[in-house]
Structure 1
Amino acid sequence: MAIPDHARTNFKTLLRAAGDGNLALMECQDAATGNLRYVICAVGRDGGDYVFTPFGHLADGDPYDAYLPPDPDDPSGFLAPDDGGR
């Protein structure tokens, strides 16, 4: 699967912010569930104000349980949970 251009652009922005020391971890409330989330943000300036741009949140619990990696034998698929995705 190809990673879409917008995701690549956002990732490059995130890497640049990290390289410049302009990342923050903010405690936020999930708009849909109300749960607390720990959100990775790029920090910028707008005049004298700080601007925080959210890029995503840290996984709750074990991140290996939250995501399925790509299947190396099927470029359009993902490993199933019982495939030992770790």
Structure 2
Amino acid sequence: MAIPDYARTNFNTLLRAASDGNLALMECLDAATREPRYVLCAVGRSDGEFVFTPFGHLSDGNPYDAYLPPDPDDPIGAIASPMT
């Protein structure tokens, strides 16, 4: 699976923010469910005000259950575990 340019750009921005000490963890509400989410944000300044740019939220529960890793033998596939 090829990582799209926007994801690479956002990841590099996130790395820069972390190395500069401009990364924050904010408690927000999910717009659809109103459940609390803990969101990773880059922190910037604009016109003397802080600007928080959200990049994603931390997984609730076991993150290994939420994602399937890429399949090294199939560049466009994922390793699927059997459903139980």
Structure of higher RCO (CA pairs closer than 8 Å, 6+ residues apart): 2
TM-score greater than 0.5 by the shorter chain: yes
What do residues 41-72 of structure 1 show as CA deviations (whole Å, max 9, x unaligned)?
Answer: 00000122100000000011011011100011
Q: Does 1:30 align with 2:30?
A: yes
1:33 Cα deviation from its structure 2 partner: 1.1
Cα displacement (A) at 1:7 = 0.5
- Pairwise CA RMSD: 0.7
Partner of 1:71: 71
Normalized against structure 1, the TM-score is what? 0.92
Q: Which residue of 2 aligns with 1:81?
A: 81
- Which blocks of at least 5 consecutive residues in structure 2 are unaligned? none
Q: Which residue pairs with 1:48 in the alignment?
A: 48
- Deviating above 2 A after TM superposition, structure 1's stretches of 4 or more consecutive aligned residues are none
Q: Deviations over 1:25-46 (max 9, x none)?
A: 0000000111110000000001
- Partner amino acid for 2:53? T
**As a proportion of its length, which structure holds more helix?**
1
Count of residues in Structure 1 that have an aligned counterpart in Structure 2: 82
Q: Percent identity?
A: 77
